[in-house]
Amino acid sequence: MPAIARSDKSFSPNKGLALVVGLPQANNEGNTSLVFCIEALEQGSVIGPPFSLHNDEGRYIWTNDQIRKEGIERGSVIEFERKGVLGPPKTYYLKNTNEKLDIDSVIPQLQFGGSRLYTGEAHHGIKDAFPTVKISEKSCLYQDAKEGSSPGCALINVSKALLVDGRINFIARLGENCSLRNNCQRVRSSGIDKVHLQVQVPLSEQDVGNCFLLVNFGEKPTTANYSRYWGVCDAMLLKNECGEGCTTERGSKLSAPNIPPIPPQGGHPSHSNLEETEVPECYEMTSCPHGKCVIINNKNFNGHPEYCRFGSEHDEEALGRLFKKLSFTVEIWNDLDAYKMLGVAREIAAQDHRAFDALFFIVMSHGSHGDTIWGVDGISIGIQGLMLPFKPIKCPTLMHKPKVFIMQACRGSYSESNAGPMHDSTLASGTTPQEVDFLLACASAPGYCSTRLKTGSIFIQTLVDVFKEQPHSCDLIEMLTKVNDKVIKRSTKVEEAYSQPSIQVSTVSHTLRSKLYL
């Protein structure tokens, strides 16, 4: 029988790949540049907000000679490492992989909304991205240094844009009129020509269109007396740029080389394989062990004892015993920050699962709106960010095998106390698996609470009870249906006992193609 293995955290989830999206000019002499990137989760996929890359000397301003020596270009895929103890970690360059990605492929992946680590992060406008930034009478962007540190950088969606006299004048999706110095060396106006960017009209509120500007405020105040941070345009993401994207008032078009996408590597599974695969009535569960069960339990949150998830240790112990009995190899991880949670998912997905039949991935933490779960550092991570590494293209050894994700997410608040029930926030507000053979079970439905007691959470403890009773006579969907029925009944009794009428409803969404018996 497989033993419970407590992971030693020997790998480094702070290392990864990133796509270079901009190389703006750093000074008026033109011999230095900045390097802006977006993290690449897998081939052709980007996640998170843009960031500036520091060189091996620890500087964010690169000499152009350094960039040429490393062969870094827009579209290059580089390796990086995050470092930092106090404040946000800084990202340092490790090496160039000499691979390229198509910049156009980034735009459709961008989504509006903050703190989403499973997609590229973008914003409708200035106030959306930079709440403390002001717009001057001349439409410039600034923040007084006395109001805090640099606002940083962000991708802003625009509805109109014009390049003229070394500046870019644009209207953000929120209707803000702005005029910024254009440091983007790839698309510029020359002479007296005015260059109109051919910006597409978005079809809906969530449609990202085809044009984003990377607005950056630098790391230090830029005025003579260092009293203000001023915004500049350091990069431009314009789909079909300089093909059908930019037109001068004289009718000519700017030109620039297109960057071809990376060709797929041999052996990657495709959707065509699914059509050729005969679907059995039940998933095969004959190997011993059946597979891995990964459990992440975030109980203690850095510097915030009020957010401690009391009782979660009982959930962790109960799940460990259950899945050991069900013939799974159990790995338990405690108190991970957001990037380490992603790192665990990537590490497990990169392993060889050919000897296994299934995967269970269980996360217990605080959650928030937008289908996100907290790391112990307070940074939220999207559920999809944990599921993406297990797509067939990234994890081919789990292809055609069930991958089950169970999320017990709670949000600490002033209403929590050790004497009574601790209420968990809604979590499942729309996330569904994007590939076949996935199942996602969440402790709560939109508008409902999820309750945790000193003895553990109602959802996890009920799930353990049902799974122990009928693992072989009922398939997984049937068992989760029974879990929901019992959760509703148990939560009603608990809430009535504390005069807080509220019902907890768990949810299940899946793309399983066969029945799964444990």
Q: What 3-state class would DSSP assign to 194?
A: coil
Q: Are residues 65 and 168 in the same domain?
A: no
Note if 290 is an active site residue.
no
Look at residues 431, 440, 448, 348 and name the one whose alpha carbon lies nearest to residue 395: 348
Q: Is 159 within 8 Å of 199 (Cβ atoms)? A: yes
Note if 410 is an active site residue.
yes
* DSSP element (H, E) containing 276: helix 271-276
Catalytic residue among 123, 290, 314, 366: 366
Q: Is 18 within 8 Å of 348 (Cβ atoms)? A: no
Segment 283-297, tens digit of pLDDT:
999 999 999 999 999
Q: What is the pLDDT of residue 4?
A: 47
Token pair in block for residue 347: 């590490």
HSE on the CB side for 21, CA within 13 Å?
34
The answer to whether residue 265 sits within a structural domain is no
Segment 376-413, tens digit of pLDDT:
887 777 787 788 889 888 899 999 999 999 999 853 33
**pLDDT at 420 exceeding the cut of 60:** no
List the CATH number of the domain containing 311.
3.40.50.1460
**pLDDT at 35 exceeding the cut of 80:** yes
Count of domains in the chain?
Answer: 3
List the CATH number of the domain containing 34.
2.40.50
Segment 334-373, tens digit of pLDDT:
999 887 888 899 899 999 999 999 999 999 998 766 567 8
Q: Are residues 171 and 85 in the same domain?
A: no
Q: How far apart are CA 136 and CA 223, in angstroms?
A: 15
CA 100 to centroid of chain Cα atoms: 21
Catalytic residue among 37, 211, 233, 410: 410
Last residue of a domain, one of 109, 140, 157: 109
pLDDT band per the 50, 70, 90 thresholds, residue 274: low
- Give buried/exposed letters for 197-226 (b at 16+ CB in 10 A, else e): bbbeebeeeeebbbbbbbbbbbeebbeeee
Domain that holds residue 473: 291-412+429-511
Q: Are residues 173 and 319 in the same domain?
A: no
**pLDDT at 322 exceeding the cut of 90:** yes
The answer to whether residue 163 sits within a structural domain is yes
Q: What 3-state class would DSSP assign to 390?
A: helix
Q: Which of 20-24, 134-138, 207-211, 456-460 has the lowest average pLDDT?
A: 207-211
Q: Is 249 within 8 Å of 194 (Cβ atoms)? A: yes
Look at residues 242, 134, 145 and name the one whose alpha carbon lies nearest to residue 188: 242
pLDDT band per the 50, 70, 90 thresholds, residue 235: very high
If one compares 207 and 427, the residue with the highest pLDDT of the two is 207
pLDDT band per the 50, 70, 90 thresholds, residue 23: very high
pTM: 0.57
> Across all residues in the chain, what is the average pLDDT?
80
The answer to whether residue 71 sits within a structural domain is yes
Mean pLDDT of 1-18: 54
Q: What is the pLDDT of residue 415?
A: 30
**pLDDT at 446 exceeding the cut of 70:** no
Q: What is the pLDDT of residue 27?
A: 81
pLDDT band per the 50, 70, 90 thresholds, residue 224: low
Look at residues 488, 422, 427, 501 and name the one whose alpha carbon lies nearest to residue 459: 488
The answer to whether residue 92 sits within a structural domain is yes
Mean pLDDT of 433-449: 77
Q: How far is CA 412 from CA 176, 327, 341, in A?
A: 36, 34, 19
**pLDDT at 262 exceeding the cut of 70:** no
Q: Are residues 327 and 464 in the same domain?
A: yes
